[in-house]
Amino acid sequence: MAVLLGTVVSAQEKLKAEAKPAPDIANEAYGPHKHNVLDLWKAKSAAPTPLVVFIHGGGFSSGSKEELNLAMLTSLLAKGISVMSINYRLTPETFFPGHYLDCARAIQFARLHAKEWNLDSQRVGATGGSAGAGTSLWIAFHDDLADPQNVDPVLRQSTRLACVAVQGAQSTYDPRKVREWVGEAAAQHPALRSMYGLKSDEVDTPKAYKLYEAAAPINFLTKNAPPVYVFYNEPRGPLPANARPGYGIHNINFGLKLKEQMDKLGIECIIRHMDEGAKPGQETIAFFARHLLKEKPTDTNNKR
């Protein structure tokens, strides 16, 4: 779970020390850059399995595929769902939309190899925290990026997702909207400038506004969007007057604004908060099982 856009609740050192089972496929290159690599754990099944793709957080400038949570990995595998964890280019090696497009390419690469890897290309979901959550939402809501005529066979594949279950998601990376929905401190998060590669004199220009709008997942919502689950643990309410720059970047208001729009479209959107007694680990696994395996839901109280 993310606390700030560039940090994770459990320290990376602890996450890396977790005794994860060795992936069936390790550091597979899905693209030309050195950071375009993935790990894949295959669920044991004679039939093709669903796939959940983990996209790490870190403000688009840090983090790695090693942050995949051990409990999530083992729980999904036990359900018969394969898991893929990916690295992607980070700022300043790339700027928007490079981070998003790398992650989309990883999904396309998995689909290209679906038969070889025993995956069901129609049942693919995504998860992650913070920047990984926002990236998951952007790919889920955006028009399919498949280019059937492309000379690259990877880019001919679909980027569509069947469902998304994430933590601390930002439904927009537009500083103007962040300021309106959450507050000034959140709008001052450094990633909201660095991810675009903008100079200080460009942040309030038409060039910047175009980028802000194109990077906001919520701007691509249509009736064809998949169901979403989002968990938040940052305190509710107005930001403190002395809040440091970046505080509020995981505020539940991002989720409530998303739910408002998804409700209008008649698409399932579950927004949960720690003060409601949410159990994000269990709820995430149950959400994926329901949408990727068609398991019947169990009762969860106080779902928003």
Domain range list for the chain? 12-292
CA–CA dist 285, 275 (Å, integer): 20
Q: Which fold has domain 12-292?
A: Rossmann fold (3.40.50)
CA–CA dist 226, 267 (Å, integer): 7
Q: What is the mean pLDDT of the chain?
A: 93
DSSP state, residue 288: H
What is the structure's pLDDT at 19?
83
**Whether the Cβ atoms of residue 124 and residue 133 lie closer than 8 Å to each other:** no
Residue range 16-25: average pLDDT?
Answer: 82
Q: Is the pTM of this model over 0.85?
A: yes
Which class for 201: exposed (0-12), middle (13-18), buried (19 or more C-beta within 10 A)? exposed
Conformational region of residue 179, where left means phi above 0, alpha means psi within -120 to 50, and beta covers everything else: alpha
State percent of the chain over pLDDT 90.
90
Residue range 6-35: average pLDDT?
Answer: 74
CA 282, distance to chain mean position in Å, is: 18
pLDDT, tens digit, for every residue of 154-196?
999 999 999 999 999 999 999 999 999 999 999 999 999 999 9
DSSP state, residue 65: G
Contacts of 180 (CB under 8 A, 6+ apart): none
What is the structure's pLDDT at 11?
44
pLDDT, tens digit, for every residue of 74-119?
999 999 999 999 999 999 999 999 999 999 999 999 999 999 999 9
Q: Where are the beta strands (DSSP E) in 49-186?
A: 49-55, 82-86, 119-129, 163-167
